[in-house]
A and B are shown apart, each in its own frame.
Chain A
Amino acid sequence: MMEILVTVFSATFFVTIIRTTTPLLLATLGGLIADLSGALNVALEGMMLIGCLTAVIVSVYAPWYVAVPAGAGVGALLGLVMAFFAYRLKADIILVGFAINILAAGGTVFALALATGGDKGTSINLKSGAIPPLDLSGLNAIPGIGPFLTSFLSGHSVLSWVAAFLVFAIWYFLYRTPWGLWLRGVGEYPAAPEAAGIPVTRVRTLSLVVSGALAGMGGAQLAMFNYVGFTRDMTAGRGFIALGAVLLGARHPVGALLAALLFGAFEAFAVLLPGLFNWMPAELIRMIPFVVTIVALVLFSIRAQRALALRGLR
């Protein structure tokens, strides 16, 4: 028991949580923006996966600060494709999303085989780059709490800091700018903004593009920091977990952060568990994030129903 507590409160565990949370958080924020505009983005998984592969392949030839935007850019492009089919060709957005997921699952393996010359499992033969950890050991100079701060704040991916900043930026955008109001209005009751002359479809298209960019960036973090390199299906359901995290976070950026942290913590826990308890079956440990997502979703839904009942809406 002591071992668990020691591990859970250690700085290493904290750093692991931040690492596992970052891709999830980026995807969750992407899901949030799309969801608030009324466009359910079930393609987060596929966008992340294609983002992973793009970032890995670009990083072979270019530095990380080119590879990450490339991953995000591909995600954005997929968002545009989704919007095109959903709004211009009037397809069901959920089906379009799954088409993107299927494209990603097959397409990444196909593209990987082309890039590596026949290897369909991993990109191990490619010399792909990594996102450098941000070194803040300068904080050591602060008397007293310096070393403590360093052990907790140093060594995170640059994108972790970006993600944290994005939580604030998206909150500010949604609740303190007129465009944020537009976006929420379009999601809440599209007829009203339509009547007020707000281009509903354009707002949704842009949110899907941003959503895709964030998911692609999450993919880049996954394939260039959490793991270095691409393996087939490496997102392993993270995009779908992010979809659950959007709902769990009560469709609010801060809620999204907390939900992503929760899932990230359990994923980190699953990463560390085998070292602590070698008797625990690996399969059951791998199940943890999915079970937690279902449990959290159910509990949250119960709470949401109660809240509705309190307001007399049901």
Chain B
Amino acid sequence: MSNVPSIDKSSRFKAVQAEIGRALGALAIALVVTAVIVFLTSKSPIEALTQLFTAPIAKVRTIGLWVDDIAKLTVTGLAFSLVFQARQFAMGVQGQVYVGGIAASYVVLSPIGSTPLGLAAGVLAAMAAGALYGFLPGIAKARLGANEIVSSLMLNYIAIELCNFLMRTSLPKPQPGVLTSIDFPSESVFPALVEKTRIDLGLIFAIVSVIVVWFALYRTSWGLKLRLVGHNSRFAEYAGIKSTFIMVSAMTASGALGGLLGAMFVQGQTWGKLTVLFEGGLAFEGILVAIVARSRPLAVPIVAVFYAYLRQGAALMNVRTDVPAEVIGVVTAIIILLVSSSFSLGFVTRLFGAKPAGSAAK
């Protein structure tokens, strides 16, 4: 993750160009691999690939799904970008989404929920809960040196079970035994921006988040310190920057974004209520978005646009053909591997030209 800021404008432009080239190259390789897999396994490969690449823009409804996914992937991508820029590998966005969703649900289902303040109160509660959940592994690392990867992952599992537990026992349900809460009062549900689609206020939240995170990282002293800690924590320490404070605050801010995403799920047009496993594995996709965007907040939404399209295409392909949506996991892994490495198309040709076997052993 080397994003050394260059002073020279033209070299910066070249660097951006190179990054885009690498990202597109990785995407192309990943798609070729997908196509090969589909051709090998599907009975109707052409139909499957057509669905993958064209289904999301075929109908207004599916475009709505796509845009909704863009908003959500943007927020999780930003959450991961923040911690990645500080070189913390906190993987807790999933847990933050769940506690955020739970907190929002409790606030929204209380009497506050049916007042005009309900919507804002739910979002704020979700962000606060997420921030707290991001703070915990941060403070454990700063004070005790507890590995943040392990602790944040454990917190994810705990949050999921907590959601299941509260869902079953404490939250009001339409009838006993179902695993969803009653619908939220309409005052607290994000209004749809486009009628009859899932495009809602969450999209605005996502856009605002991009601007806020960009501003915080590149136009405030906190952001400068954070990036310094990320590039070279020892140097930052010598320069008098409290790297532990930066670390904890980055993880807390990222947690607030995770919590916001939780509110976007449960208060959005997608659900408008709390259900078990409402997040559906989206939070972890932020890793890919952040990596391909090189943790740059302004690049995150662009990556999200492409990746959301792929995700929706895969989901629709899953429904309409015999190819499971999980094939997209293969695409994701290949893209992460290629983009995070110093791969280039020249390298690939060199690799196959020079030494095909035993290549890892040096």
Could you list which residues of chain A lie within 8 angstroms of chain B, going by C-beta atoms?
42, 80-81, 83-85, 87-92, 94-96, 98-100, 102-103, 105-107, 109-110, 113-114, 118, 120, 199, 201-202, 205, 236-237, 240-241, 243-244, 247, 281, 283-284, 286-287, 290-291, 293-294, 297-298, 301-302, 304-305
A283-B165 CB under 8 A given contacts A94-B89, A301-B140, A301-B145? yes
B336 touches A95 (CB 8 A): yes
Q: Annotate B113-139 by CB proximity to A: 1 below 8 A, 0 otherwise.
A: 000000000000000000000000000
List of A residues within 8 angstroms of B89 by Cβ = 42, 94
Which residues of A have CB within 8 Å of B324?
109-110, 113, 120
Q: Contacts A91-B337, A106-B330 hold; do A301 and B342 have CB atoms under 8 A apart?
A: no
**Which of A85, A113, A294, A304 is the one whose CB lies under 8 Å from B154?**
A294
Contacts of A241 in B (CB 8 A): 154
Interface centre among A102, A114, A237 (most CB of B within 10 A): A102
What distance in Å separates the Cβ of B120 from its nearest Cβ neighbour in chain A? 30
Q: Known: A80-B360, A88-B360. Is A99-B342 also a contact (CB below 8 A)?
A: no
Q: A83-B360, A110-B324, A202-B362 are in contact. Are A298 and B140 (CB under 8 A)?
A: yes
Q: What separation, in Å, do the CA atoms of A89 and B337 have in the docked complex?
A: 9
Pick from A89, A205, A283, A293: contact of B164, CB below 8 A: A283
- Please give, as numbers and ranges, the residues of chain B lying within 8 Å of A98 by CB-CB distance: 91, 287, 336
Q: Do residues B157 and A237 form an inter-chain contact, with CB atoms below 8 A?
A: yes
Q: Does B329 contact A (CB under 8 A)?
A: yes
Please tell me which one of the listed residues B158, B341, B342 contacts residue A287 in the complex, with CB atoms under 8 A apart: B158
Is B333's CB under 8 angstroms from A100's CB?
Answer: yes
Q: In angstroms, how far is the closest chain A Cβ from the Cβ of B22?
A: 12
Q: How many residues on B have C-beta within 8 angstroms of the other chain's C-beta atoms?
A: 48
CB distance from A231 to the nearest CB of B (A): 14
Give the contacting residue for A88; candidates B1, B169, B281, B362; CB below 8 A: B362
Check A290 against B144 for contact (C-beta < 8 Å): no
A301→B144 CA distance, assembly (Å): 5
The complex places the Cα of A118 from the Cα of B168 at a distance, in Å, of 31
From the candidates A102, A199, A298, A305, name the one contacting B329 in the complex (CB within 8 A): A102
7 tightest Cβ-Cβ pairs between the two chains A and B:
A106-B329, A89-B341, A91-B341, A103-B333, A283-B165, A84-B360, A301-B144
Q: Is the interface of B mostly helix, strand, loop or mixed?
A: helix
Q: Give residues of chain B (331-348) contacting chain A, Cβ–Cβ below 8 Å.
A: 332-333, 336-337, 340-343, 347
Contact yes or no, A298 B150, CB < 8 A: no
- Closest Cβ of chain A to B300, distance in Å, is 16
Interface centre among A85, A94, A294, A304 (most CB of B within 10 A): A294
Instruction: Choose one: B149, B165, B332; the contact of A106 (CB below 8 Å).
Output: B332
A95 cross-chain contacts in B, Cβ below 8 A? 287, 291, 336, 340
- B271-287 interface (Cβ within 8 A of A): 281, 284, 287
Q: CB < 8 Å: which of A85, A205, A301 contacts B337? A: A85
**Which residues of chain A are near B91, meaning CB under 8 Å?**
98
Chain A positions within 8 Å of B47 at CB level: none
Q: In the complex the two chains form, what is the Cα distance from A240 to B347 in whole Å?
A: 33
| Closest-CB distance, B60 to chain A (whole angstroms) | 29
Pick from A85, A92, A106, A202 the residue with the most CB of B within 10 Å: A106
* A121 to B46 CA separation, bound complex (whole angstroms): 26
Instruction: Give the CA-CA distance A85 to B359 in the complex, in Å.
Output: 10
B154 contacts across to A, CB distance below 8 A: 237, 240-241, 244, 290-291, 293-294, 297
